[in-house]
Structure 1
Amino acid sequence: MIALSACVQPAETPTATVPPVTPTPTATIATQNLAELAKSAASQGQFQTLIQAVQAAGLTEQLAKPGPYTIFAPTDAAFSALPKTTLDQLLQPANKQQLVKLLAYHVIPGGITSQQLTSGQVKTIEGNFVQITVDRASNSITVNNAKVTQPDIPASNGIVHIVDQVLLPPNFPSSVKTTPTPR
């Protein structure tokens, strides 16, 4: 079981040194916190499922708290690659703890830009590690097997990197089917 307080005080910080987030003057979204940013993104139609999941997990207020955080945000297309029954199960109140665990696995402490990311394992606020692979030659970043499709979206309390897959924590409950739908 994950306590929401784990989202506020991570047990360990990533090995990378993280400078404070400095909003870009030309980026109007830099004054928004991650919850506001997610709502703005949802209004563009890319993150409706993520917003629905954050609300079902009761994490909306948590994402509005001072960070900084780095969120690897899956798009609606990433969620739709999961079997429909998986998403339906996760959004049920009985599975709230699994949903919190899944969402917390997409967040690492600190506001880390794509230029600051380095290859290696980084502990998420969920408690397990994600494998980050940075290939500067091809200008690509992956988190586990998810590709970062749009990096460095600033928020007042962190950074958002859009990913093309939902990240599944190790030992995710087998009662929730997570085999991706064939494409």
Structure 2
Amino acid sequence: MRTFMIAGVSAAALLALSACNSGEDATNTAVNAEATTADQAATPAADGTVVEVAQGNPEFSTLVEAVTAADLAGTLNGAGPFTVFAPTNAAFEKIPAADRQALMQPAQREALQGVLTYHVVPGRLTAADIASQAAANNGSVELTTVEGGILTLRETNGQWVITDENGSTSTIAMADVPASNGVIHAIDTVVMPN
């Protein structure tokens, strides 16, 4: 099983928005972080970084706000590539408002960075890559996040479910949103590190 190391991507990874599932198999798979250059070229690049793509989608406004509060925009605008499991606004709304507001305060910047970077994996991992890696590992794949924690992905009833280190789950609602420095997979629930 391959692990991935990412630098400085935290709660910003929460950018993963919970969009409607297209139902395609490719939508339900993810990319292997150690994909070859040829594999990476197969994923179309967009005209903006993961941050710019998120800024252009109103479903990611809370994520963009969190990335800014965590001072991670510069990192996520970097060369990457990054795979971001980005929570949508609806995903953030599942967190009690008082907790969300507290996390956005300057005194909590380090904690927010940890949450956001837990949503980011090094490399450009498409849904197909994730599916391929899972197929080689008894149906699941463990990805090491930039934060240093592990996310476990497994296909369940035609959807990719992410399990965090606390046993909580999130579903990839939309996969393979291209960016110039990576790929975004929108998720319906914020995942949390230990």
TM-score of Structure 1 vs Structure 2, range by shorter chain: 0.7 to 0.9
For 1:105, give the aligned amino acid: Y
Native 8 Å contact 1:15 1:122 kept in 2: no
- TM value normalised by structure 1: 0.77
Q: Is residue 121 of structure 1 aligned with residue 137 of structure 2?
A: no
- Aligned partner of 2:122 in structure 1 is 109
Q: Is residue 2:161 matched to residue 1:142? A: yes
After superposition, the CA RMSD in angstroms is 2.1
Specify every segment of 5 or more residues in structure 1 that has no aligned partner in the other structure, as ranges: 9-13, 171-183
Residue in 1 that maps onto 2:104: 91
Cα pair 1:23 1:156 within 8 Å, conserved: no
- 2:47 alignment partner in structure 1: 31
Residues 1:18 and 2:30 aligned together: no
* Contact 1:71 1:106 survives alignment (8 Å): yes
Measured against aligned partners, the alpha-carbon deviations of 1:11-68 in whole angstroms (never above 9, x if no partner) come to: xxx976313433766xxx7121111111112xxx211110000000001111110111
| Structure 2 residue identity aligned to 1:32 | G
Question: Structure 1 residues 86, 154: closer, same or farther in 2, change over 3 A?
Answer: same
Deviation per CA, 1:144-175, whole angstroms, max 9, x where unpaired? 110000000011111100000001111xxxxx
For these two proteins, the number of residue pairs brought into alignment is 153
Look at both structures and tell me which one has the larger radius of gyration over its CA atoms.
1
Asked if 2 retains the 8 angstrom alpha-carbon contact of 1:23 and 1:30, the reply is no
Alignment-derived partner of residue 7 in structure 1: 8
1:33 is matched by which residue type in structure 2?
T
Counterpart-to-counterpart distance in 2, 1:23 and 1:75: 26
Does the Cα contact within 8 Å between 1:50 and 1:74 map onto a contact in 2? yes
State the shift of 1:98 in Å: 0.3
Alpha-carbon distance in 1 for matches of 2:52, 2:66? 15
- Separation of aligned partners in 2, 1:63 and 1:123: 17
Whether the 8 Å CA contact 1:72–1:163 is kept in 2: the answer is: yes
| SS of the residue 1:46 aligns to | helix
Task: Sort the Cα spacing of 1:99 and 1:167 in 2 relative to 1 into closer, same or farther, 3 A.
Answer: same
Runs of 4+ in structure 1 deviating by more than 3 angstroms, as ranges, are 14-17
TM-score, scaled relative to structure 2: 0.73
